[in-house]
A = this chain, B = another copy of it.
């Protein structure tokens, strides 16, 4: 069994075309019915404003599968620690024995989450993108713009964030990183109105984007909501959408934006026009069909992404001879 630490993982796994294509492949497997995807396990620690989510997915035919543990403890900043953390494990498909522990501290989740944004953009954002928008100024606000740029290079970002300081830092960093203009917006409304593709990356509990700001050609990816109480889009936004896509229907109707649209009677799990990302990546269905359609994608994050990225990290690290060998005293095929 191998153990990999964060530094090594960061060095050898990047948010690049390879990672994006692998995540795309994971969604295709999901749509093909080749994935066992158990419901998310959640442990709440209300005393400390914390929660732990466990995700997993077994993809038929692959020799390993991942289990991912991610935590959000929202008092951590007051202790000088990041709110989010996590680790992944790989198990051998044939024997169930642990193959690797990846102490990535949430890094691989960051990468696979952003990569899903790129996959969505690839099928849903208009071909010639000029103006990108983002709501939020955290790590995913950065990575999602990198991911979008990888599949639809644009010339400007409009950003909105609650903290003026954070927005300034974001703008300065992203101008350097991508070589694009970054405009600071006064409101989410300005972001939507100035952009052709918007990504929302916040843990908001109140809708940030209103239906009457939607304009022809717009694409929105909402990736912040992954729990019942979170919401970034007004439910009516879906009434303006020509194409509605999500990562996993059952999960988005429980934890994502679709959940709120269902509560308000706007959508239901039986609404056939709602597509899963894997139906697009596998070419079973088409995403955007012309430059004026409005498209919306609801991402909650799936275990398939975790299995794909953990396997990729393992391969990258093993071929470079990285990792600590453990458990030689335990029953292990290695």
Contacts and interface: CB of A to CB of B under 8 A. Distances in A.
A87 interface: yes
A97 interface: yes
B93 A45 contact: yes
A326 B71 contact: no
Contacts of A94: 48, 50, 73, 75, 79
A110 to B, nearest CB: 13
A67 to B, nearest CB: 6
Interface string A1-24: 101011100000000000000000
Contact of A103 (B43, B87, B93, B327): B327
Q: How many copies does the complex hold?
A: 2
B331 A82 contact: yes
A333 B79 contact: yes
Given A3-B3, A60-B47, A101-B101, A91 B52 contact: yes
Given A5-B329, A105-B330, A329-B5, A48 B95 contact: yes
A127 interface: no
A76 interface: yes
Interface string A64-103: 0101010111011001011001010101011111100101
Contacts of A61: 47
Interface stretch (A33-41, A210-218, A312-320): A33-41
Contact of A331 (B5, B39, B81, B329): B81
A164 interface: no
Contact of A96 (B5, B56, B71): B71
B98 A103 contact: yes
Nearest to A105: B330
Given A48-B94, A327-B103, A43 B71 contact: no
A61 B47 CA distance: 8
Interface of A: 1, 3, 5-7, 36, 38-39, 41-45, 47-48, 50-52, 54, 56-58, 60-61, 65, 67, 69, 71-73, 75-76, 79, 81-82, 85, 87, 89, 91, 93-98, 101, 103, 105, 326-327, 329-331, 333
Q: Return the 6 tightest CB-CB contacts between A and B, nearest first.
A: A71-B96, A73-B96, A41-B41, A105-B330, A6-B330, A7-B329
